[in-house]
Amino acid sequence: MINKIRVIAIREYLSAVRTKGFIVGVILMPLLMGGGVVIQNFTKDIVDLDARTVAVIDRTPGQVLVPLLQRAAVRRDATDIIDKKTGKQTKPKFIVEPVDLSGDLQKTRLALSDRVRSGNLFAIVEIGPNVLDPKPVEAPTQPTEIPKTTDPYALIEATSDPDSLVHYSSNRPTYTDLREFIQRSLQPRIASERLNQSQATLDAMMRLFGTLVVPRGLASIDEAGTITFEPRQNEVLLVVLPIVMTMMMLVVVLVGASPLTTNIIEEKQLRIGEVLLGSVSPFQLMMGKLLGGVGTSLTLGVIYIAGAIFGAHQLGVLHVVSPLLIVWFVVFTVVASLMYGSLFVVAGAAATNVKEAQALMTPMMLIVVLPLFLIGPMINEPHGTIAQAGTFFPLSAPLVTMFRLTVPPGLPWWHIAIAIAGSALMMLTLIWIAGRVFRAGFLLVGRPASMRELIGWIVRG
């Protein structure tokens, strides 16, 4: 029995990996990925270096902030935008243009706006007259008074003296460098002035509101008896790593699993099925096809994972992925490919043509991506009730268990065992169902099987 499954799996595997599509995929994907990096490197040097002129309406008494901005711009142009190795300019210069306030303010605003529209000016900055000494505003006390909006600045405007703000206007709102430059240049001075008004210093404020809670590794004792703290884990990576690994697993699974459906339908349409069923049982045929398909996806997976490890090594983040974690990743990718692949085998066995299969594949895809909906709750509670339920439910077990394995402190061995056993049992059940449905329905071409017929085939064979 095993030998026949092996023979089918090898043929399916070889026929898949010898196709032009696979070879092109193997070569093209790294080329595309590598090409992306090359293009990024290449395009990062291609930037628009045209100077950006910003008109500054400084309404502060004595117009004390314009000179500050001008000095900051000169300093930036001299140092921050020059590549130290090559001496080449890498970013555009900022030119601060003070605006004469002798005329009508509204007309000045309009004239400057027209210059922005015509491309003569990049942006307008208007510094409110009270920016250094804001007048108290009656803050909303009831939540209902706070504007409900997705605009993050609406709350600031609603709770601030309008003359104490710095307004920035441009018709290129996505370019944030200039806005951030204005913020960075003005904030220390404005904050300092405002603190002076309240008899407080910036340092004092930092001490009051600075971070108190700092993560630290657990204490451990070495052979010499010295107690030290283990290194602190990178919190960003702790969130990113499970998501990245789960996604990678999902991609490998979908690459290998989804073609299984069309493969089985082609078998029906080519009328080869009966020739094969003269030699092997439907279960052997379906299992062989599944293993062949999974082998194909794992071949791609190995290539991509090797690329990912190389990339992680190049980026210097490989150390955060333990070798054991990579082993678990391979194990659960195989488990996931087999289990989810068997879903697509069932779809292929039940469908009579590609169009019908596409309709069936949508719910299958939903089942495969279902565990992704658990990622949100699992990030906060990787070993909570939802995560545990996901581990014990076969249709989500491979992805959820892999996710949990990446988050310290890992999970008990018996959780892993249940996840693997449950997935294996589910795969065998699905392949058994696929075999019965295929055997009963493989000659049914041109007419979709009704749900009643499908259930009948599963029950009676």
Partner 1 sequence: MAVIELEKLRKTFGDFVAVDDLSLSVPQGTLCGFIGPNGSGKTTTLRMIMRIYAPDSGKVMVLGNARHGPADDRVGYLPEERMLYKSMRVDEVLTYLSQLKGHKPSHQEINNWLDRLQLGGFAKRRVQTLSKGQTQKVQLIAVLISRPQLVLLDEPFSGLDPVNAVVLRDAILELKRSGTTVIFSTHDMSVAEQMCDAIVMIFRGKKVLDGPMTSIQSQYGRDTVRVRLRGAMPTSLIGVESMINFGQYQELRLTPQTDPQAVLRALLSHGAVELFEIAHPSLQDIFVRIASPAGALEGAA
Beta carbon of residue 17, minimum distance to partner 1 (angstroms, whole number): 13
Does the protein bind partner 1 through residue 140 (CB under 8 A)?
no
Q: Which of 53, 70, 130, 281 binds partner 1 (CB under 8 A)?
A: 281
Closer to partner 1 by Cβ: residue 20 or 148: 20
Q: Which of 439, 441, 449, 454 binds partner 1 (CB under 8 A)?
A: 439
In contact, 387 and 374? CB cutoff 8 Å: yes
Beta carbon of residue 455, minimum distance to partner 1 (angstroms, whole number): 15
User: What element of type H or E holds 95?
Assistant: strand 94-98
Window of 173-181, 255-263, 273-281, 364-372 that interacts with partner 1 by CB under 8 A: 273-281
Binding mask 382-421 for partner 1 (x = CB under 8 A): ----------------------------------------
Beta carbon of residue 272, minimum distance to partner 1 (angstroms, whole number): 5
> Footprint of partner 1 on residues 14-33 (CB under 8 A)?
15
Window of 156-164, 238-246, 280-288, 346-354 that interacts with partner 1 by CB under 8 A: 280-288
Beta carbon of residue 344, minimum distance to partner 1 (angstroms, whole number): 21
Q: Taking the C-alpha atoms of 121, 127, 128 and 134 in order, what is their torsion angle to the nearest 10 degrees?
A: 160
Residue with tokens 């210069």: 93
Closer to partner 1 by Cβ: residue 277 or 303: 277
* Distance (Å) of CA 338 to CA 81, 272, 342, 442, 443: 53, 24, 6, 22, 26
The contacts of residue 10 (CB under 8 Å, 6+ apart) are 292
The angle that helices 413-441 and 282-315 make with each other, rounded to 10 degrees, is 140
Closer to partner 1 by Cβ: residue 10 or 68: 10
The contacts of residue 225 (CB under 8 Å, 6+ apart) are none
DSSP labels, 102-150? SS-HHHHHHHHHHHHHHTS-SEEEEE-TTTTSPPP-----SGGGS---S
CB count in 10 Å sphere of residue 239: 14
Q: Do β-strands 52-58 and 94-98 pair in parallel, antiparallel, or remain unpaired?
A: parallel
Instruction: For residues 140 and 199, give the distance between their C-alpha atoms in angstroms, rounded to a whole number.
Output: 25
Beta carbon of residue 439, minimum distance to partner 1 (angstroms, whole number): 6
Beta carbon of residue 335, minimum distance to partner 1 (angstroms, whole number): 27
* Token pair of 292 as six digits: 């062949």
Does the protein bind partner 1 through residue 3 (CB under 8 A)?
yes
On the 0-12 / 13-18 / 19+ scale of CB atoms within 10 A, 176 is exposed
Closer to partner 1 by Cβ: residue 76 or 268: 268
Closer to partner 1 by Cβ: residue 415 or 436: 436
Closer to partner 1 by Cβ: residue 321 or 440: 440
Does the protein bind partner 1 through residue 296 (CB under 8 A)?
no
DSSP 89: B
Beta carbon of residue 11, minimum distance to partner 1 (angstroms, whole number): 6
Give the residues lining the site for partner 1 (CB under 8 A).
1, 3-4, 7-8, 11, 15, 270-272, 274-281, 284, 439-440, 443, 460-461
